Copies of this chain bind each other. A is one copy, B any other.
Amino acid sequence: MAKEITKRADNYSQWYNDIVKKAGLADNSAVRGCMVIKPLGFGIWENMKAQLDKMFKNTGHVNAYFPLFIPKSFLSKEAKHVEGFAKECAVITHHRLMNNPNGEGVVVDPSSKLEEELIVRPTSETIIWNTYRDWIQSYRDLPLLINQWANVVRWEMRTRPFLRTAEFLWQEGHTAHATKEEAEKEAELIHEVYTRFAEDYMAMPVIKGYKSENERFAGADNTFTIEALMQDGKALQAGTSHFLGQNFAKAFDVKFADSNNKEEYVWATSWGVSTRLVGGMIMTHSDDEGLVIPPRLAPTQVVIVPIPKPKDEIMEVANTISEKLEARGIRVKIDKDEKKRPGFKFAQYEMEGVPVRIGIGMRDLANKVVEVARRDTKEKTSVNLEQIDQHVDDLLVDIQNNLFNRAKKYRDEHITEVDNFEDFKKVIDEKGGFVKAYWDGTIETELKVKELTKATLRCIEVDEPDSEGVCVYSGNPSTKKVLFAKAY
């Protein structure tokens, strides 16, 4: 059929693009590097958003909204921030168009030049901390636990749908605290929220770690990260939570009076996940037949397909099943299309990753059964009509768990410990995945390893104990094994 896609083994990158296109997740747009998120892709993101938003609110955060634009001068107030971050961005210089005096169309009105250029936010620390200065006077105003759901723009040269786009959607939390300890705890709390979300909802196992100084967010004193492993052996940074120290408070002069009326700079965190997670989900679970969506994130969890057509007797049963499932909070769709053949529909729902498909034919009905197919393993079972709702409810849980376990098995098999650089290179080149090795803690080693292998230092695991060893590259003494990998 027309929907065939490249096999993963043949060309993983092309396979990914095929899935995005043929499952209807996203489309290219007329604007360089910006994608159109189609209804299925956006439906997945909406489910991610809803769950994350609930988790943020349950941990005491509220939402707000800050301006899309940032005055150019703000970006250079925090020295590291502008160095590491904000150069490739969309710059607004004018605010009016006019009819082209020489002919058709419109041109920029030169008289509308802005006094100071505006930047489309690549991230909002600067505009937010400039605002917090007005909101924070005393310790009574702290903590501020604010999140925003927003679009941001980074002028990326090489883009890929969901993984790296010029505009993307994300949430960015920006919190303000009276003490260093409290801010550090906040960064760790969110690190844990991201971990729970990735593992329990996306069924995507992640490694909890923190970044080396070189890989830190520009302006942070510490960056926590969750690192996932894609099916092609490349790592994906899936979410980061930054302890910002007093860096932004100092850059924007945000002080508070403590309970003794002593003035102090405010402590900060920021943290974010983005539509990149949709890419991570695709590359964790999907297969050569198309998208696989974990049930908890699937816009449609169960599709009911009448075979061969939506006749009255079949539709009656379909409606009854649908009502029973909806009563359990399951998201169901009945395919009422009369023109397409069941085989075409099956392939389509496989491509779109619907976790469970129920087929209802006349012969099944005579036996009071329906056929239930699960997307993850493609197994089919005949299920008695009486038990269908309980069966599907259990099955959705089972699929969710199976996806996680399958991904975790693959990930665990792809963490390879090495103690010499020959093995390091070999694993990175041939097997892929994470390489665990002693590192001497220097940026020189980190950069040299990257240069020689294309592998970057993904993270230092939070749970990794200190131990004695020698650096896999330099041979210098080391007290910590860390994780390297090629990464998206």
Contact = CB atoms under 8 A, between A and B. Distances in A.
A283 to B, nearest CB: 21
B93 A94 contact: yes
Q: Nearest 3 pairs between A and B by C-beta?
A: A34-B67, A37-B65, A39-B62
6 contacts: A30-B131, A35-B67, A43-B62, A76-B104, A87-B96, A92-B93
A145 B87 CA distance: 38
B106 A90 contact: no
A134 interface: yes
A64 B90 contact: no
Oligomer copy total: 2
A131 B106 CA distance: 21
A120 interface: yes
Nearest to A38: B64
A444 interface: no
A65 B43 CA distance: 10
Interface string A18-61: 00000000010111001111110011001000000000000000
B43 A63 contact: yes
A339 interface: yes
Contact of A69 (B72, B76, B90): B90
A117 B109 CA distance: 12
Given A69-B90, A339-B140, A36 B131 contact: yes
A98 interface: yes
Interface of A: 27, 29-31, 34-39, 42-43, 46, 62-76, 82, 86-98, 104-106, 108-109, 112, 117-120, 127, 130-131, 134-135, 140, 146, 150-151, 153, 155, 167, 169, 339
B97 A87 contact: yes
Contact of A90 (B62, B74, B92, B153): B92
B37 A68 contact: no
Given A91-B97, A97-B119, 16 more contacts: A27-B134, A30-B67, A30-B71, A30-B127, A31-B69, A34-B67, A34-B69, A36-B65, A42-B64, A72-B106, A76-B104, A87-B97, A90-B92, A91-B112, A120-B120, A151-B151
A73 B140 contact: no
A117 B127 contact: no
Contact of A65 (B65, B127, B169): B169
Given A39-B62, A64-B37, A82-B106, A97 B72 contact: yes
Contact of A96 (B69, B93, B155): B155
Nearest to A94: B91
A73 B34 contact: no
A31 B96 contact: no
Nearest to A157: B95
Contacts of A130: 30
Contacts of A89: 95-97
A74 B105 CA distance: 9
Contacts of A91: 92-97, 108, 112
B92 A92 contact: yes
A27 B135 CA distance: 10
A86 B99 CA distance: 11
A23 B96 CA distance: 35
B105 A27 contact: no
A93 B93 contact: yes
A345 B87 CA distance: 47
A140 B337 CA distance: 10
Nearest to A65: B37
Contacts of A117: 108
A118 B90 contact: yes
A68 B34 contact: yes
Contacts of A339: 140
